[in-house]
Chains A and B, each alone.
Chain A
Amino acid sequence: MALDSKVPKGSIKDKWTDYKNHIDLVNPANKRHIDVIVVGTGLAGGSAAATLAELGYNVKAFAYQDSPRRAHSIAAQGGINAAKNYQGDGDSTYRLFYDTVKGGDYRSREANVYRLAEVSTNIIDQCVAQGVPFARDYGGLLDNRSFGGVLVSRTFYAKGQTGQQLLLGAYSAMNRQIARGKIEMFNRHEMLDVVIVDGKARGIIARNLITGEIERHSAHAVVVGSGGYGNVYFLSTNAMGSNATAAWKIHKKGAYFANPCYTQIHPTCIPRSGDYQSKLTLMSESLRNDGRIWVPKNMEDVMAIREGRKKPTDLSEDERDYYLERRYPAFGNLVPRDVASRAAKERCDAGYGVNATGEAVYLDFASAFERYGREQAKIHNITNPSDEKIYELGQAIVEAKYGNLFQMYEKIIDQNPYETPMMIYPAVHYTMGGVWVDYNLMTTIPGCYCIGEANFSDHGANRLGASALMQGLADGYFVLPYTIGDYLSTDIRTGKISTDSKEFEEAEKEVTERINFFVNNKGTKSVDYFHKKLGKVMWDKAGMSRNAQGLTEAMAEIKAIREEFWKDVSVPGTANEMNPELEKAGRVADFLELGELFAKDALMREESCGGHFREESAELDGPQKGEAKRNDEDFAFVAAWEYKGEPADAVLHKEELEFKDIELKQRSYK
């Protein structure tokens, strides 16, 4: 099948408006007869479910947690972008569009990104109307901060809990529709397959996680907003339950999976401490607004710090290497994430890591305390303030901005980050790859849509900070509700979809057999054993830097782990009860397939772009020496993979990317 991105004709500025003016609509009376399933209640799924229900469709929403409010979006800290230009610093729709395409290293679809930038301002208006308590300045207007990779302040935030507040906004909109009976909410339910009838997505098979019951649910369209697959690495900043199952199941039924190798390794996370580690914790990127990143200049100091003979605060300014400021004077500590992560790895690989594992760098707030302290002293007319006073005043400002993050850090590391610099190291955070969708957000299965982090999204090969929340809400509030109407307009006479068909029966049978296999297998190793093993291969061979040999090995190793898994996995308990090990087994089985496709995709892409760094493709000399080298000649395409059984047999389909409104350039943050 040839890939058709369905991008409307016309100039980039008019595409979305023209499109909306010409699509078919479903009249309100008919919407009542149309059912839509939404899998996932994060920012993407939650906002979609609420909006579709407001429009009049009957929505069935699913989440594996006990409440829509607990979807992983809740954990987003730093903020959400919008081209409001409230700061008057030169922001515009075009600039947000440009920054996102450039930040994504020119591997995203222009028309989608432009639309995202265009609706971004509506998101903020909508959220404020819902009562989302964004941070405000003393004049009562909305405050902004800046994030990596851009030169304007366009990030809206609610302390360090922006995702929480936005999700609670979408959740409240859902609650209103649940109360009206327009959304039927299925908490503690996991989608385990999609059902396709006459070539169209017409329902899902879900497991009730309390009773273990397998249920059939039908609808006229299925929307998957199930989040990213970062947990393929076992350790990531994702929630423990974040998984790829829903996305992978639709892939196996015909939805192409795009750019699986585009993963974001976030530069500012708390370093790992031991083998028992179950997850990694992000320290929001917003901290890079005020924190400076460094390692000691001299090896003796590194050793002294590791052995506890010296403290970081003992080192003078010129004994420190602020390596981002040194290498990238224009953007300094605010370079995009992929660049910052690789730079940290470079220093740590060279031996300058500051903790026992050698995998940590400092994030230091001392200059921020001082800068804010002096400012405050002026504001409060304190003449000749002492150093302590300045520090105290500055600390209060930093606490107001990032208090919860500092507290989180202290609880985990048991060190006070107001007194000593934080230690950070990159960790897996976000997946730009995902299910391929066209301009309408429809997958290659008719009637099956994919939104939020689960789709291959608008972020190309690297996502800018504060843009995932924007994309999730744009998809759910403002894009999907239009585009799905165009599709559903042909379904107004279809009537209820029966769940008694052989298609539902077969899908249910497949799901049940797999569950029965797990509980009867009686192997000798836990699910986590395999998950950790997979994670290690992924991190070592498909992590921050990749090469052909490592990736080839990774494919073989993952296949071997998968085979061992199916022979020897142990899942205690039964199928007909709450059984968390069984849930994990199903998810890890899917990760074990996805991981191999990931490595295959990374092996195919013989260029470096964004988060995907191929050691074979770096600048050898000139001012950009050592930086990633893109190859637009051969790789300016989206790699969409078609499922053919074994992941190694997946077939590649290319969506060539055209850049009409932005000139392709080497990304430079120097």
Chain B
Amino acid sequence: MNLTLKIWRQKDSKAKGQMVDYKVTDISEHMSFLEMMDVLNEQLVNSGEEPVAFDHDCREGICGMCSMYINGEAHGPDRGVTTCQLHMRMFKDGDTITIEPFRAAAFPVIKDLVVDRMAFERIQQAGGYISVNTSGNTQDANSIPISKHAADEAMDAATCIGCGACVASCKNSSAMLFVGAKVSQYALLPQGQVEAVDRVKNMVAQMDLEGFGNCTNTGACEVECPKGISLENIARMNREYLSATLKG
């Protein structure tokens, strides 16, 4: 198929960006979206132009690097996939595709489609851990049984890949789904209880500091989340937060 691409080009964080049109031809429906971008970039390199910078690494939906806002949706039109897992069979010959970076005040553009997600790092550093040193004499892993249900639920929350699609999809640029997922993972496990109060307070405080918006329950994040992280995680975080503030 032949396509027209409208892509956000921005030289660096200070430059003013703009949408630029490109044409690509002979795109196979079996290609992944990023393979289509490779074709474009190869074309640009061969004509001596600068290729489009975009983040990607694993190309199998797990590292969370890729982050394109395609035709007005984070990670594009398919559901339950990251940009790298999106395939060209979702598009048809003659389509015009708009490609922008994930936008949010807390995610400044570094170049073209690459954004800075360090805010997520700082939120994790504020409390996304259990304080246990590596010693080699931790208690036996089976000494605390954890119900299969709790373990599975914790696992579901823990599958968040930290991509930021939830933020990019939210009209308020709220990071509640991301933070809720991390808080939930620990809240659901006995190992997480000791520091539960401080964790939720510190992570939420950091989230506010980073300039993410409030949650107004539109649910857009859940729809676009490639890992199916559910709104239940936000509700759980709110309960944790409330009980933490009550405990002082």
Contact = CB atoms under 8 A, between A and B. Distances in A.
B49 to A, nearest CB: 6
A128 B32 contact: no
Interface stretch (A194-202, A287-295, A489-497, A570-578): A570-578
Given A131-B191, A175-B129, A239-B57, 13 more contacts: A66-B116, A70-B65, A122-B137, A127-B141, A134-B151, A136-B151, A140-B148, A172-B130, A240-B59, A273-B30, A408-B61, A577-B11, A577-B111
B56 to A, nearest CB: 6
Contacts of B148: 136-138, 140
Contacts of A320: none
A240 B130 contact: no
B9 interface: no
Contact of A578 (B110, B140, B151, B158): B110
A511 B38 CA distance: 27
Nearest to B115: A66
A203 interface: no
Interface string A398-433: 000000000110011010000000000000000000
A251 to B, nearest CB: 24
B166 to A, nearest CB: 16
Contact of A570 (B30, B45, B53, B154): B45
Interface string B208-224: 00000000000000000
B29 to A, nearest CB: 9
A75 B58 contact: yes
B62 A581 contact: no
A462 to B, nearest CB: 24
Q: Identify the 8 closest CB pairs spanning chains A and B, nearest first.
A: A140-B145, A172-B129, A133-B155, A128-B141, A133-B154, A239-B57, A526-B45, A125-B138
A30 interface: no
Interface in A55-83: 65-67, 69-70, 72, 74-75
B180 interface: no
Interface stretch (B81-89, B94-102, B168-176, B232-240): B81-89
B189 A131 contact: yes
Interface of B: 11-12, 28, 30-32, 34-35, 38-39, 42, 44-46, 48-51, 53, 55-65, 78, 80-81, 85, 87, 89, 110-111, 114, 116-118, 120-121, 124-126, 128-142, 144-148, 151-152, 154-155, 158-159, 161-162, 185-186, 189, 191-192
Given A276-B35, A276-B39, A72 B57 contact: yes
Given A125-B140, A126-B138, A281 B60 contact: yes
Interface string A155-181: 000110100110010011101101100
A581 B54 CA distance: 11
22 contacts: A51-B133, A65-B57, A65-B63, A66-B118, A119-B136, A125-B141, A126-B136, A128-B138, A129-B139, A134-B151, A136-B148, A139-B145, A142-B141, A172-B130, A175-B129, A185-B121, A240-B59, A274-B28, A274-B31, A276-B28, A572-B48, A581-B45
A67 B134 contact: no
A572 B42 contact: no
Nearest to A482: B136
A613 interface: no
Given A75-B58, A129-B138, A278 B128 contact: no
A140 B189 CA distance: 12
Nearest to A134: B151
Contacts of B80: 407
A125 B125 contact: no
Contacts of A92: none
Which of B53, B58, B65, B80 has the most chain A CB atoms inside 10 A of its CB? Answer: B58
A86 B142 contact: yes
A70 B63 CA distance: 5
A127 B158 CA distance: 14
B30 A140 contact: no
Contacts of B137: 122
A125 B140 CA distance: 5
A572 B49 contact: yes
A136 B53 contact: no
A84 interface: yes
B63 A239 contact: yes
A179 B191 contact: no
A67 B138 contact: no
Contacts of A124: 141
A50 interface: yes
Interface in A143-164: 158-159, 161, 164
B202 to A, nearest CB: 9
Contact of A140 (B11, B55, B133, B146): B146
Given A67-B120, A70-B63, A74-B58, A122 B138 contact: yes
A477 interface: yes
Contacts of A127: 141
A130 interface: yes
Nearest to A578: B111
Nearest to A170: B134
A69 B64 contact: yes
Contacts of A273: 30
B109 to A, nearest CB: 11
Which of B124, B146, B159 has the most chain A CB atoms inside 10 A of its CB? Answer: B124
Nearest to B78: A411
A130 B162 CA distance: 19
A578 B133 contact: no
B35 A131 contact: no
Interface in A240-299: 240-241, 273-274, 276-279, 281-282
B35 to A, nearest CB: 5
A136 B146 contact: yes
Which of A128, A241, A412 has the most chain B CB atoms inside 10 A of its CB? Answer: A128
B64 A70 contact: yes
Given A411-B81, A581-B45, A172 B191 contact: no
Given A72-B58, A173-B129, A414-B89, A67 B162 contact: yes
B191 A130 contact: yes
Which of A161, A274, A278, A481 has the most chain B CB atoms inside 10 A of its CB? Answer: A278
Given A75-B58, A139-B145, A411-B81, A50 B134 contact: yes
Given A136-B151, A140-B147, A75 B124 contact: no
